[in-house]
Amino acid sequence: MSMIYPVILSGGVGTRLWPLSRSQFPKQLLALAGESTLIQDTALRASGGNFAAPLIVCNQEHRFLIAEQMRAAGISPLGILLEPVGRNTAPAAAIAALTIAERDPDGILLLLPADHVVTNRPAFADAVGHAARAAQDNHLVTFGIEPSRPETGYGYVRRGKPLAGSQSVFAVARFVEKPDLPTAKSYIESGDYYWNSGMFAFRAAAFLAEMEKLAPDILVACRAAMAEGRKETDFFHLAAKPFAQCRSISIDYAVMEHTDKAAVVPVEMGWSDIGAWDALWDIGGKDDSGNVTRGDVLCHGVRNTYLRSDGPLVAVVGVDDLVVVATRDAVLVSRKDKAQDVKKIVDQLASAGRDEHIVPAK
Amino acid sequence: MSMIYPVILSGGVGTRLWPLSRSQFPKQLLALAGESTLIQDTALRASGGNFAAPLIVCNQEHRFLIAEQMRAAGISPLGILLEPVGRNTAPAAAIAALTIAERDPDGILLLLPADHVVTNRPAFADAVGHAARAAQDNHLVTFGIEPSRPETGYGYVRRGKPLAGSQSVFAVARFVEKPDLPTAKSYIESGDYYWNSGMFAFRAAAFLAEMEKLAPDILVACRAAMAEGRKETDFFHLAAKPFAQCRSISIDYAVMEHTDKAAVVPVEMGWSDIGAWDALWDIGGKDDSGNVTRGDVLCHGVRNTYLRSDGPLVAVVGVDDLVVVATRDAVLVSRKDKAQDVKKIVDQLASAGRDEHIVPAK
């Protein structure tokens, strides 16, 4: 069996979990659901056994924070590849595949977004095992999450026939864009559709061969960014000019939707991409009133609410279905089902020339 | 016409407006509704014209804060009488009456709680004029607020016949305790009932004569507390031992409900005793969405909500009918119609041995 190289994609600079996340301190660096940060959990989830040390691809601004979080978690990355600008997942995957291919052409890359939560680790390990076997046969494998609701915020992947000799991995019949609600409901009823998780497994050589065919310009740009790049202790700085000139495109659009080697491994593993604060209520441990609390929080007559303080005492009285999150410099109060609209607040901060969405709480 | 001596009763150590109010920084010391604090507004409302400088009765712990607030408002109090412990309003009124009587036995005391809001100052001035004339005829006059709703949190006073020669002041038919809701509704329908405001006017000598008759033990204790007390610059320290031995009782129970000299002047003057945060929404200036905002506050899709920060940025999304108040060390989120229950939070703080309800925000 080939080694499995976890490739942790830490591309996000999002602020959907403001005021805790800031563009200079995005959600993958936060301990949102447990004691470890999401990127620490991601690295620890794919360690031991057949896993090599992880390769991390991140924005250069986050390099010291990430290096420190890996050190604190007892993880020595294979490398930390620094993007001068974000160019979405296809170039990041290409850079990672080129890096692994130099070292171990038979190596299998396991692409893991740094900001996902997975609560069922054995299910994750099983799915990775199935995916790795299919990857060894040169399939490009995507992880399909068993949908628990007719979510309209995700793309879906429809499974085709099982791969030869496998009961766990299927050919991909097609990828579909974010559906409307009736369509999403029909997907769930059919039982053939999965959420497209953004997690992938493939042999370095197999992926690069498909890129050579489907998106050669990206490989050219990435090879240049590596050739002209600069190693600095644990970090590798991709060269800014060629990398910036690369197209910004997802691995789905650039490769997966066009290759005939796509496969999907369905998995139910307590997965969440924590799109907004309500997701942390969904996955959190609840008290008898259905509240999820963390930090210095008091309540009276409160139900089904997410309560969190990383700063001042937070006291809540007589409310249902809210999100209340406090940091030292900012407080968010939102209806739980409006938590996506925190981006409207971030927009207001940006247009007012403020910096509470950029720099971490003092 | 006799001089009118405002007597400002700053007895409250309440925390119903927590987290802004703390027992060491109660609500009368806060700028809740405007630029001035409530005690400043109270003093300024009763100044100029026929008003003498105010006499202030307060807890000794608040003396420097109050002296400073008076200085900042350009007010030189006649004196600041310091209570070592709170003994409710009857002893405070007795101390004030004894003090004024020494200086001007014909002087009229105007007792004003320090923590009331009055938005219609001309109506206040008119009512004080009517009350002073009745007081000069030795009536003990209470101010009856025209009720705007069937409030069950206040006592009521029922008017009797107009005083001889007056269309504005009435004999008191009776005082009634806090009613239940049907009773409160019947009071409003009758048109003869007013909220008992806690504001009073009477000649010093007339009040002392009634106390001598109805509660002589209180006068004995107060005379001792003054005789054994100690003047220190602007302050007069009542002697702790005799004052502490005095009964704790309101002026209503001790005198007003028993005297045959009680009169009531009805008044509609935009009065509020700001019982809880929802009252500040009631009296506040509202934007097009019905929100009252103060301090560093952003919102999106928010209606009929009171939003205030004296500390961090507060951002609120998609909620209706809430109160959100932030200070540097504590945040309160409450349903507006549950704002009274903030006392449950203060109880929790007290039983946990914390001090956020005692000391001001750092």
Each residue's pLDDT expressed in tens, for chain A with a length of 362 residues: 789 999 999 987 667 899 999 989 999 999 998 899 999 999 999 999 999 999 999 999 999 999 999 999 999 999 999 999 999 999 999 999 999 999 998 999 999 999 999 999 999 999 999 999 999 999 999 999 999 999 999 999 999 999 998 999 999 999 999 999 999 999 999 999 999 999 999 999 999 999 999 999 999 999 999 999 999 988 999 999 999 999 999 999 999 999 999 999 999 999 999 989 999 999 999 999 999 999 999 999 999 999 999 999 999 999 999 999 999 999 999 999 999 999 999 999 999 999 999 998 87
Residues on chain B touching A314 (C-beta within 8 angstroms): 330-331, 333
Tens-place pLDDT, residues B99-113: 999 999 899 999 999
Rounded CA gap, B56 and A219, in Å?
Answer: 81
For residue B331, give the nearest of A314, A319, A345 by CB distance: A314
Of B206, B312, B217, B184, the residue nearest B256 (C-alpha): B206
B267 and B226 in a common domain:
yes
In sequence order, the 6+-apart residues with CB closer than 8 A to the CB of B155 are: B175, B176, B177, B178, B195, B196, B252
Instruction: Please count the residue pairs, one from chain A and one from chain B, whose beta carbons lie less than 8 angstroms apart.
Output: 127
Q: Could you say which of A233, A253, A272 is where a domain stops?
A: A272
Rounded CA gap, B330 and B324, in Å?
Answer: 11
Residues on chain B touching A358 (C-beta within 8 angstroms): none
pLDDT value at position B315? 98
Which residues of A touch chain B, with CB atoms under 8 Å apart? 19, 298, 300-301, 309, 311-319, 322, 324, 326-335, 337-339, 341-342, 344-345, 348-349, 354, 356
DSSP-derived letter for residue B166 is -
Torsion (CA) B180, B183, B187, B189 in degrees, nearest 10: 120
Rounded CA gap, A147 and A84, in Å?
Answer: 35
Burial class (CB in 10 A: 0-12, 13-18, 19+), B23: buried
C-alpha count within 13 angstroms, C-beta hemisphere, residue B25: 18
B322 and B174 in a common domain:
no
Of B51, B20, B246, the residue nearest B115 (C-alpha): B20
CB-based contact B317 A348, cutoff 8 Å:
no
Contact between B221 and B91 (Cβ < 8 Å): yes
B268 and B167 in a common domain:
yes
Burial class (CB in 10 A: 0-12, 13-18, 19+), A339: buried
In sequence order, the 6+-apart residues with CB closer than 8 A to the CB of A138 are: A203, A206, A261
In sequence order, the 6+-apart residues with CB closer than 8 A to the CB of A228 are: A239, A241, A242
CB-based contact B329 A341, cutoff 8 Å:
no
Rounded CA gap, B344 and A279, in Å?
Answer: 29
CB-based contact A334 B342, cutoff 8 Å:
no
Torsion (CA) A81, A83, A89, A90 in degrees, nearest 10: -90
Distance from CA of B328 to the nearest CA of A (A): 7
In a domain, B8, yes or no: yes
CB-based contact A332 B315, cutoff 8 Å:
yes
Provide the pairing of β-strand B230-232 with B235-237: antiparallel
pLDDT value at position B361? 86
Rounded CA gap, A360 and A18, in Å?
Answer: 10
- Mutation pick from B291, B297, B298 vs chain A, by most beta carbons of A within 10 Å, is B298
B337 and B228 in a common domain:
no
A320 and A208 in a common domain:
no
B235 and B157 in a common domain:
yes
Contact between A200 and A187 (Cβ < 8 Å): no
Residues on chain A touching B345 (C-beta within 8 angstroms): 298, 300, 315, 317
Rounded CA gap, A317 and B313, in Å?
Answer: 20
Q: Could you say which of B272, B288, B319 is where a domain stops?
A: B272
In sequence order, the 6+-apart residues with CB closer than 8 A to the CB of B85 are: B59, B240, B243, B244
CB-based contact B300 A332, cutoff 8 Å:
no
Task: State the CATH number of the domain containing residue B176.
Answer: 3.90.550.10
Distance from CA of A256 to the nearest CA of B (A): 38
Residues on chain A touching B318 (C-beta within 8 angstroms): 334-335, 337-338, 341
Distance from CA of B325 to the nearest CA of A (A): 10
Q: How many CB atoms lie within 10 A of CB B139?
A: 25
A328 and A195 in a common domain:
no
Residues on chain B touching A338 (C-beta within 8 angstroms): 301, 317-319
Under the banding of pLDDT at 50, 70 and 90, the label for residue B161 is very high
Which segments of A119-271 does DSSP mark as H helices, in order? 121-136, 181-190, 204-214, 216-227, 240-245, 251
Which segments of B169-320 does DSSP mark as H helices, in order? 181-190, 204-214, 216-227, 240-245, 251, 277-283
Q: Could you say which of B225, B244, B272 is where a domain stops?
A: B272
pLDDT value at position A12? 74
Q: Which helix (H) or strand (E) holds A279?
A: helix A277-283
In a domain, B45, yes or no: yes
B268 and B282 in a common domain:
no
CB-based contact A318 B329, cutoff 8 Å:
no
Domain limits for position B58: 4-272
In a domain, A357, yes or no: no
Residues B146-162 have a mean pLDDT of 95
Contact between B246 and B222 (Cβ < 8 Å): yes
B232 and B315 in a common domain:
no
Q: Is B151 helix (H, G, I), strand (E, B) or coil?
A: coil
Distance from CA of A99 to the nearest CA of B (A): 44
Is the pLDDT score of B309 beyond 80? yes
Average pLDDT over chain B reads 95
In sequence order, the 6+-apart residues with CB closer than 8 A to the CB of A330 are: A18, A19, A356, A361, B312, B313, B314, B315
Which segments of A193-258 does DSSP mark as H helices, in order? 204-214, 216-227, 240-245, 251
Q: How many CB atoms lie within 10 A of CB B51?
A: 17
In a domain, A330, yes or no: yes
CB-based contact A348 B311, cutoff 8 Å:
no
State the angle between helix axes of B63-72 and B38-45 in degrees (0 to 180), rounded to the nearest 10: 50
Contact between A9 and A111 (Cβ < 8 Å): yes
Tens-place pLDDT, residues A273-288: 998 999 999 999 999 9
Rounded CA gap, A96 and A110, in Å?
Answer: 10
- Mutation pick from B16, B278, B300, B327 vs chain A, by most beta carbons of A within 10 Å, is B300
Q: Tell me what ipTM this predicted complex has.
A: 0.89
Q: Which residue of B has its CA nearest to A336?
A: B318
In a domain, B360, yes or no: no
In a domain, A360, yes or no: no
Rounded CA gap, B171 and B209, in Å?
Answer: 19
Contact between A21 and A30 (Cβ < 8 Å): yes
Q: Which residue of A has its CA nearest to B341?
A: A317
Under the banding of pLDDT at 50, 70 and 90, the label for residue B278 is very high
In a domain, A106, yes or no: yes
In sequence order, the 6+-apart residues with CB closer than 8 A to the CB of B220 are: none
Rounded CA gap, B110 and B203, in Å?
Answer: 9
Which residues of B touch chain A, with CB atoms under 8 Å apart? 18-19, 298, 300-301, 309, 311-319, 322, 324, 326-335, 337-339, 341-342, 344-345, 348-349, 354, 356
Provide the pairing of β-strand A108-113 with A193-203: antiparallel
Contact between B219 and B208 (Cβ < 8 Å): yes
In a domain, A53, yes or no: yes
For residue A317, give the nearest of B318, B335, B349 by CB distance: B335
CB-based contact A345 B19, cutoff 8 Å:
no
Residues on chain A touching B278 (C-beta within 8 angstroms): none
For residue A318, give the nearest of B18, B313, B338 by CB distance: B338
CB-based contact B324 A342, cutoff 8 Å:
no
Number of structural domains chain B divides into: 2
Rounded CA gap, B85 and B348, in Å?
Answer: 24
A52 and A26 in a common domain:
yes
For residue A317, give the nearest of B301, B318, B345 by CB distance: B345
CB-based contact A349 B322, cutoff 8 Å:
no
A292 and A164 in a common domain:
no
Tens-place pLDDT, residues A233-277: 889 999 999 999 999 999 999 999 999 999 999 999 999 999 899
pLDDT value at position B14? 67
In sequence order, the 6+-apart residues with CB closer than 8 A to the CB of A351 are: none
CB-based contact A341 B298, cutoff 8 Å:
no
pLDDT value at position B72? 97
B200 and B232 in a common domain:
yes
CB-based contact A342 B316, cutoff 8 Å:
no
Contact between A210 and A254 (Cβ < 8 Å): no
Residues on chain B touching A337 (C-beta within 8 angstroms): 318
CB-based contact B330 A318, cutoff 8 Å:
no
